[in-house]
Structure 1
């Protein structure tokens, strides 16, 4: 594969299409990915259901990757982060024996609410196949000369996030598939934490969207609402969501405490990758952002005196 080949030029031609064309391509690609995942789940017998799900998840990711190569746009993968989890969790709930429990219903409802909000936020900002996330553009431009872009796209842009999200979902498996422990205080805490996370993300995104759409704020740094206390409240909400899912898993099966690796990896991803990349970009565009970084913490709000 080479970005200089004929397939890449065809992809660039498609990328010039309209926004509806872009969403149509993504929809068809994700339907194909879902069918491929279903075929894997139906064909593989014997391993633990988690392994079957893992294989199906990887195959679906490869299908999405193939579509992204065909249209020369790695951002085709972006909604996978939020589209795959509710499908996986719904499949686990439907495959569990017995009637749907309160815990299963709560987990599924919260995952769907999180997924709908996050997917809608992506859809509202994506301008079509001509629009590729700036982080992918930077990765392509700064990659080592002999390392092909398709390999970086496959491993770093698509497979790595799939693995991270699957790690987060490990705690959801016992929450929806392990029966025997009744609803308890830890479940209530999980509902509060996860629900608050969705509200934080939704509020942060709404405040940012409103701020950036106001011409009077052009070139300014958002420092109001949740953004007054955290430079990345949307990331804080995302991290909190996965900790809430882990609480559900521990409430259902304490022996699965080790799935804490999932939310821990989420923390590491945002703290050491996402936050630095966003801060670096903001610094390059707005020198005043350095002072903003000194006043406002990256994720967790500092004492009230820190804000303005």
Structure 2
């Protein structure tokens, strides 16, 4: 890595770190000294939205909405710690430790992966520019809601089963906690493998070449499937704590599935088809989302 590239990365990471320190400080001030509601989860949501607005201000100031990228993985473990600390279960609760391990491993891995691939503030996720461009004169509200506030709310909904798991005495079977733990770590492992294989492919790929090796040969989006499975695991932790609330505890996982299937995957597929003519053959052969053996290539 050249000195100039390293300097640009360092400069960007320092600016983003400052933004997150300020955002978390604003949220903490609100939670500690701001007006409260009758619900801990609602107080947290309000603080979460204030922190998001801080990141949005930095995104607009630097004209780069990728300031928000790390928010997805940085904030959830802070929520978990705050909820656990505010509840009555105490540090000896094994179930809380198990969900905490899954969330922390997920957050550390995802954040580290983002840091390792971060090129600097000259780069912005191509999807953000597409969203603003498609919004036309409404690009500013699209930036605020579609890129910042809505993802924050989606992640918060996905974290509500964790709120249940670390604030309520368990009312469900422990074996389901074990299942959730295994599913969560398995999902994180799948994401890690997919990201590692993709990085290796990126280094050696030829122009127009399509990734269809390893887990990418079993699913066109194994990283998204792994991420969805992680949120399913959190839902299972919630159900293990409060089985009677199972009817709504999967709402976060469903929201994530809708995000991936309704927005992220279609955008990725469209871009790949435009840039890589061979991608249609991958679509014809490799499953879209749920990993399974690929279909045999058609013969002419």
Indicate whether 1:201 and 2:191 are aligned. yes
**What is the distance in 1 between the residues matched to 2:186 and 2:296?**
21
The answer for the alignment partner of 2:125 in structure 1 is 133
State which of 101, 107, 130 in structure 2 corresponds to 1:109.
Answer: 101
How much has 1:210 moved relative to structure 2?
A: 0.7
**What is the distance in 2 between the residues matched to 1:57 and 1:298?**
33
Any idea what SS the aligned residue of 1:202 has?
A: helix
How much has 1:223 moved relative to structure 2?
A: 1.1
How much has 1:305 moved relative to structure 2?
A: 5.7
Aligned residues: 288
The answer for the alignment partner of 1:93 in structure 2 is 84
Does the aligned pair in 2 maintain the 1:103–1:183 contact within 8 Å? no
How much has 1:99 moved relative to structure 2?
A: 2.5
Q: Please give the per-residue CA displacement for 1:138-160, whole angstroms capped at 9, x wherever unaligned.
A: 2233322x32x322111110001
The answer for the alignment partner of 2:214 in structure 1 is 225
Does the aligned pair in 2 maintain the 1:33–1:59 contact within 8 Å? yes
Does the aligned pair in 2 maintain the 1:102–1:183 contact within 8 Å? no
Does the aligned pair in 1 maintain the 2:89–2:168 contact within 8 Å? no
Indicate whether 1:77 and 2:64 are aligned. no
Does the aligned pair in 2 maintain the 1:212–1:218 contact within 8 Å? no
**What is the distance in 2 between the residues matched to 1:307 and 1:32?**
53
Q: Could you state the TM-score of these two structures normalised by the residue count of structure 2?
A: 0.92
**What is the distance in 2 between the residues matched to 1:238 and 1:252?**
22
Does the aligned pair in 2 maintain the 1:37–1:60 contact within 8 Å? yes
For structure 1, which runs of at least 5 residues remain unmatched after alignment?
1-16
**What is the distance in 2 between the residues matched to 1:305 and 1:65?**
41
How much has 1:183 moved relative to structure 2?
A: 5.8
Any idea what SS the aligned residue of 2:169 has?
A: coil
**What is the distance in 2 between the residues matched to 1:180 and 1:283?**
48
How much has 1:301 moved relative to structure 2?
A: 2.4
CA RMSD across the alignment = 1.5
How much has 1:98 moved relative to structure 2?
A: 4.1
After the TM superposition, which residues 255-274 of structure 1 pair with which residues of structure 2 at under 5 Å, given as runs? 255-257=244-246, 258-274=248-264
The answer for the alignment partner of 2:56 in structure 1 is 65
